[in-house]
């Protein structure tokens, strides 16, 4: 039975979706004001493993991952750079999508942008104004948390007494944990050059929390199965999402809350704020293979912290190589016509252990250990020529099934180079011919980032999958 540790209760709970056979997930997505760092990608790889495992278990999945393209950081950045929100965010969304593909992260079914959903957000605020859960002050609109009795049920942070928030009101989207206070739903413009939208609730822009309530309910219904995010989002972001949504509908918002622990670097949280972050591109430039990064990020269960080190990355790379070599050896193993079926039996045991581990709140490290016990069991069988054709098929099928979740081997994937990469190669050749080396380098970086390597030789340029 599949179980998840639900942040809402702290318990390991059996998973039962609302609709049989289908799971609806909302996952908090990127803020597209800069490159995502690999800490962010620990969380995005977790979402990916979650959706892949639900499919492994036979569910159909609808995942909505929002794109935050208006918030405090974006507004500040665009004012500083004197560019529009669209200019800034389109660029970084494109980079983000490329990075997702590089890490073999499947694209969620819906990736709504906040700025495309202003009317839905305004409608939600109107509902909250109408039922007294929201009020206006100095042109902005705030959520009255004293009006929402269960406030704090996710994070355990309670409003003490009955005053309208000890800290009064907050406008900032990120605020101190002690500040249990009325938070902003709709912000009147305050800064020179700040983008705002005209609406029935006045000119302004949405507070950060609002988008997730409006877009999740639009695409998944007022109650859906799983809400996921990084641990930093529990408070205030998810607490506030619950308040806005349940305050408006009177219904349970999300049933299972799953939060990933952070990626640390030198034992400190990796964060833009601390300046201690590495982007995927930083690592690729240093010759690290994308699948080794994916392997590293999923090698610890999502609810455990992972410390990023060069040694850890090397170890991930070596494990991945070991897995690949194993697949190669099994493929090339001489068939033993009178094999005793031990290889096939070991494959079946691996899948059972893999599933048991993943059923336990997605314990990827135990699941990987199951794969490696198969490697350890079967390698001597190959040496002893005990692998029959049926064994081989069973072992390869089992590895392929496990990798449908892990996504690190990309077995059965087409080795041919896709048209868009060939197009980029042509662009680069053209740029070199016209001696525009800057453009040529830029195009080459994009090809590398997509997981391909270019080799120039006197006979021309060759491209292949890394």
39 binds, options ligand AMP, Zn ion, none, Cβ within 5 to 8 A by partner type: ligand AMP
Element containing residue 370 per DSSP (H, E): helix 364-383
Nearest CB to ligand AMP, comparing residues 32 and 134: 32
- DSSP structure string for 393-435: HHHHHHHHHHHHHH-SS-TT---SPPHHHHHHHHHHHHHHHTT
Place of tokens 């690999």: 38
3-state secondary structure string across 40-85: HHHHHHHHHHHHHHHHHCCCEEEEEECEECCCHHHHHHHHHHCCCH
42 binds, among Zn ion, ligand AMP, none (CB under 5 to 8 A by kind): ligand AMP
* Minimum distance of ligand AMP from residue 102's CB (angstroms): 17
Q: Minimal distance in Å, beta carbon 66 to ligand AMP?
A: 9
H-helix or E-strand spanning residue 208: helix 208-220
Residue 232 interacts with which of Zn ion, ligand AMP, none, CB < 5 to 8 Å by class: ligand AMP
Residue 381: closest CA among 414, 336, 317, 426: 336
> What's the token pair of residue 217?
């309910």
Work out how close the CB of 358 gets to Zn ion at its nearest, in angstroms, rounded to a whole number.
25
Residue 244 CB, shortest distance to ligand AMP, in Å, is 18
Dihedral angle sign, alpha carbons of residues 151, 155, 161, 166: negative
State which residue, 238 or 444, has the beta carbon closest to Zn ion. Answer: 238
Stretch 211-250: interaction string toward Zn ion, x if CB under 5 A? -x--------------------------------------
Nearer to ligand AMP, 110 or 396 (CB): 110
CA–CA dist 302, 261 (Å, integer): 6
By a kind-dependent CB cut-off of 5 to 8 A, residue 230 interacts, out of Zn ion, ligand AMP, none, with: ligand AMP
Report the nearest approach of ligand AMP to the CB of residue 262 (Å): 4
Q: How far is the CB of 316 from ligand AMP (least distance, A)?
A: 16
Question: Could you tell me which residues come within 8 angstroms of residue 325 by beta carbon, excluding any fewer than 6 positions away?
Answer: none
Nearer CB in complex with ligand AMP: 29/343? 29
Instruction: Say if residues 340 and 391 touch (Cβ distance below 8 Å).
Output: no
3-state secondary structure of 181: coil
Token pair 């709709």: residue: 186
Query: Order of strands across the sheet with 60-65?
Result: 60-65, 22-27, 224-230, 254-260
Minimum CB distance to Zn ion smaller for 212 or for 254: 212
Nearer to Zn ion, 71 or 403 (CB): 71
Q: Shortest gap between Cβ of 92 and ligand AMP (angstroms)?
A: 10
Query: Least Å distance between CB 94 and ligand AMP?
Result: 15
CB of 4 to ligand AMP, least distance (A): 17
**CA 187 from centre of chain:** 28
- For the chain, give the longest Cα–Cα distance: 83
The residue of the chain with the least Cβ separation from ligand AMP equals: 230
Q: Are 209 and 183 spatial neighbours (Cβ–Cβ below 8 Å)? A: yes
What is the rounded distance in angstroms from the CA atom of residue 441 to the CA atom of residue 454?
11
Residues binding ligand AMP (CB under 6 A): 28, 30-31, 39-40, 42-43, 68, 229-230, 232-233, 260, 262-263, 269-271
Listed ranges 100-108, 113-121, 177-185, 206-214: which one lies at the site for Zn ion (CB under 5 A): 206-214
Q: Which is nearer to ligand AMP, 65 or 288 (CB)?
A: 65
212 binds, among ligand AMP, Zn ion, none (CB under 5 to 8 A by kind): Zn ion
CB of 188 to ligand AMP, least distance (A): 23
**Cβ at position 306, least distance to ligand AMP in Å:** 8
CB of 3 within 8 A of CB of 12? Answer: yes
Q: Which does 344 bind (CB under 5 to 8 A by kind): Zn ion, ligand AMP, none?
A: none
Specify the residue, 66 or 244, whose C-beta has the smaller distance to ligand AMP. Answer: 66
Number of residues that make up the chain: 466
Cα–Cα dist 12/5, whole Å: 4
Which of 43/363 has CB closer to ligand AMP?
43
Identify what 50 binds: ligand AMP, Zn ion, none; CB under 5 to 8 Å per kind. none
Of these partners, ligand AMP, Zn ion, none, which one is at the site of residue 269 (CB under 5 to 8 Å by kind)?
Answer: ligand AMP
Report the site for Zn ion in 24-43 (rule: CB under 5 A): 28
Strand partners, 197: 204
H or E stretch covering 118: helix 118-130
Among residues 263 and 346, whose Cβ is nearest to ligand AMP? 263
φ/ψ of 193, rounded to 5, equals 85, 10
Contacts of 126 (CB under 8 A, 6+ apart): 200, 201
By beta-carbon proximity to Zn ion, the closer residue of 124 and 212 is: 212
What does the alpha-carbon distance between residue 437 and residue 93 come to, in Å, rounded to a whole number? 26
43 contact, one of ligand AMP, Zn ion, none, CB 5-8 Å limit per kind: ligand AMP
Site residues (CB under 5 A) for Zn ion?
28, 212
């Amino acid at each position: 039975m599949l179980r998840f540790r639900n942040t809402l209760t702290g318990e390991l709970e059996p998973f039962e979706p609302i609709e049989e056979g289908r799971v609806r997930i909302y996952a908090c997505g990127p803020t597209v004001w800069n490159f995502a760092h690999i800490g962010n990608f620990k969380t995005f790889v977790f979402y990916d493993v979650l959706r892949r495992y639900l499919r492994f278990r036979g569910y159909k999945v609808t995942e909505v991952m929002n794109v935050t393209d208006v918030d405090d950081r974006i507004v500040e950045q665009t004012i500083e750079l004197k560019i529009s929100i669209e200019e800034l965010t389109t660029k970084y969304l494109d980079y983000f999508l490329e990075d997702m593909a590089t890490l073999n992260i499947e694209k969620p079914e819906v990736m709504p942008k906040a700025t495309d959903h202003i009317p839905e957000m305004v409608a939600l605020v109107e509902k909250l104004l109408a039922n007294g859960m929201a009020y206006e002050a100095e042109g902005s609109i705030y959520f009255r948390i004293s009006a929402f009795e269960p406030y704090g049920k996710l994070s355990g942070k309670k409003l003490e007494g009955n005053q309208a928030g000890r800290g009064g009101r907050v406008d900032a989207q990120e605020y101190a944990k002690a500040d249990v206070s009325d938070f902003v739903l709709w912000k009147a413009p305050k800064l020179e050059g700040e983008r705002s939208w005209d609406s029935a609730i006045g000119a302004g822009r949405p507070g950060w929390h609002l988008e997730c309530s409006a877009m999740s309910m639009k695409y998944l219904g007022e109650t859906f199965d799983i809400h996921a995010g990084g641990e930093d989002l529990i408070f205030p972001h998810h607490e506030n999402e619950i308040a806005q949504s349940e305050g408006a509908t009177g219904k349970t918002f999300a049933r299972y809350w799953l939060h990933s622990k952070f990626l640390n670097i030198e034992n400190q949280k990796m964060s833009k704020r601390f300046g201690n972050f590495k982007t995927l591109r930083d690592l690729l430039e240093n010759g690290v293979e994308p699948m080794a990064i994916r392997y590293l990020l999923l090698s610890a269960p999502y609810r455990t912290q992972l410390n990023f080190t060069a040694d850890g990355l090397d170890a991930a790379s070596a494990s991945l190589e070991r897995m690949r070599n194993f697949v190669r050896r099994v493929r090339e193993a001489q068939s033993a016509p009178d094999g005793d079926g031990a290889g096939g039996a070991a494959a079946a045991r691996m899948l059972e252990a893999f599933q048991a581990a993943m059923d336990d709140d997605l314990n990827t490290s135990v699941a990987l250990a199951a794969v490696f016990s198969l490697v350890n069991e079967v390698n001597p069988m190959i040496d002893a020529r005990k692998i029959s054709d049926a064994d081989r098929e069973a072992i390869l099928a089992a590895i392929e099934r496990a990798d449908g979740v892990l996504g690190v081997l990309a077995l059965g994937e087409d080795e041919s180079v896709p048209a868009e990469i060939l197009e980029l190669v042509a662009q680069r050749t053209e740029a070199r011919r016209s001696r525009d080396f800057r453009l040529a380098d830029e195009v080459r970086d994009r090809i590398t980032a997509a997981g391909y390597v270019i080799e120039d030789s006197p006979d021309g340029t060759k491209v292949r999958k890394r």
